[in-house]
Homo-oligomer: A and B are copies of this chain.
Amino acid sequence: MPEDLSTGDLGIIIERMDGSVLIINNSSLSILCRIEGLGDLSHASAVFSRDARYAFVFGRDGGLTKIDLLKGQISKRILQSGNSIGGAISQDGQYIAVSNYEPGGVNIFAIDDLSLVAKLPALYGESNMASKTVGLVDAPGNQFIFSLYDGNEIWQVQMDSKSNKIKSDVKKYNAGKAPYDGLISSNGRYYIAGLFGEDGLNLLDLWHPEKGTSKILSHYGKGQKKLPVYKMPHLEGWAIAGNHAFLPAVGLHEVLVVDTNSWKKVTRIKVHSQPVFAMASPDDRQIWVNFAFPDNNTLQVIDSESFKIIKQFQPGKGILHMEFTPRSEHVWVSVRDNDEIIIYDTQTLEEIKRLPAKKPSGIFFTSRAHRIGL
């Protein structure tokens, strides 16, 4: 790695087939190095330490890997479960929580040495079974929020920095049937669970947890299955621009526009196919949308004000993820089957550079270190 490196404009790219990640620089638009040996990285994601030095990568095989971006090497790696699905870092920067499918529950680790701090089996019902957990995010007040796929609940857990423990009272809310993903608004107020088992979404207002959850967008979901659902859309990338949220419809060729005051639908935007991610540029001006198989060779850009599609790209098969630079000038797109990353200028909507990457999927910049819920 270069000497005297500073990490504010770095990031990592997941190479899903090879268990490797690339460290990249989003100022020089370059790859700094490749790090290998991270295990199964299908569906992998990452968070960053508050000094932006370390990335914590959550692998599908239950692996949790701490990467030192300054040295370009793995600092520590553990296998913390059999099968995991993402994680979060606490507001104080001291704890990493990991959401598990097998054996379920959430495990919480100290960032320094990845030693276990707490285990939350997420037991539910009378059988006392451990639920798969999903939609794990950090929230203000040093909290973690997540959903129980089998348990149909949302759990709210607070970490106590002083005692290095979970505060005793874990709060539990009705999530609806089979929550499969969750998101939190960028100010940490609203937690929303997407549901596989019924239509609609469940909203928890963390400023008013005493009110419990409420169902919103009751027609959102698979409904009468007008089309086969190839992939349930991700909620992470919900685009909020002004008073509107833009969200991928389920099983339909539409992006829904929702009023974020009333959480009611404003309109639908016809798009190319079934959307997977709909992500807003940090300047709120554009919504970039990718699509499920077999149409995962297409990207569309929606103008957030006119709701019109202003550009379409078909750069290659397997467009899996998009990441904007924090001040909105560029977006990096992973194109799996091209084995490359394409960087677009959001102002001109022109491609500006391609970088080689082996079967790239998730792209994560260190500026996430300074955001709630990312």
Residues of A in contact with B (beta carbons under 8 Å apart): 4, 6-10, 26-27, 48-53, 69-70, 91-93, 138, 140-142, 187-189, 207, 241, 243, 261, 282-285, 305, 326-329, 347, 366-367, 369-372
Q: Are A49 and B8 in contact (CB under 8 A)?
A: yes
Q: Are A141 and B347 in contact (CB under 8 A)?
A: yes
Q: Are A261 and B243 in contact (CB under 8 A)?
A: yes
Q: Are B282 and A52 in contact (CB under 8 A)?
A: no
Residues of B within 8 A of A10 (CB): 51
27 A–B contacts, CB within 8 A, in A order: A4-B70, A6-B6, A7-B52, A8-B49, A8-B50, A8-B53, A9-B50, A9-B51, A9-B52, A9-B93, A26-B50, A27-B50, A27-B51, A52-B52, A91-B329, A92-B329, A140-B328, A141-B347, A187-B283, A187-B285, A189-B283, A207-B285, A243-B261, A283-B372, A326-B371, A327-B370, A327-B371
Q: Are A283 and B140 in contact (CB under 8 A)?
A: yes
- Copy tally for this chain in the complex stands at 2
Q: 9 closest A-B pairs (Cβ-Cβ)? A: A8-B52, A6-B53, A326-B370, A367-B370, A6-B51, A187-B284, A140-B283, A8-B51, A9-B51
Q: Are B91 and A327 in contact (CB under 8 A)?
A: yes
Compute how far the CA of A51 lies from the CA of B241 in the bound complex, rounded to whole angstroms: 26
Compute how far the CA of A161 lies from the CA of B92 in the bound complex, rounded to whole angstroms: 38
Residue of A4, A8, A69, A261 contacting most chain B CB atoms (<10 Å)? A8
Contact of A142 among B92, B138, B329 (CB under 8 A): B329
Residue of A70, A142, A283, A367 contacting most chain B CB atoms (<10 Å)? A283
Nearest B residue (CB) for A365: B370
With A243-B261, A283-B189, A284-B187 as known contacts, state yes or no: A347 contacts B140, CB within 8 Å: yes
Given contacts A6-B6, A9-B93, A243-B243, 15 further A-B contacts (CB under 8 A): A4-B70, A6-B7, A6-B49, A6-B51, A6-B52, A6-B69, A8-B51, A26-B50, A27-B50, A140-B285, A140-B327, A189-B284, A243-B261, A326-B371, A328-B372
Nearest B residue (CB) for A284: B187
Nearest B residue (CB) for A366: B8
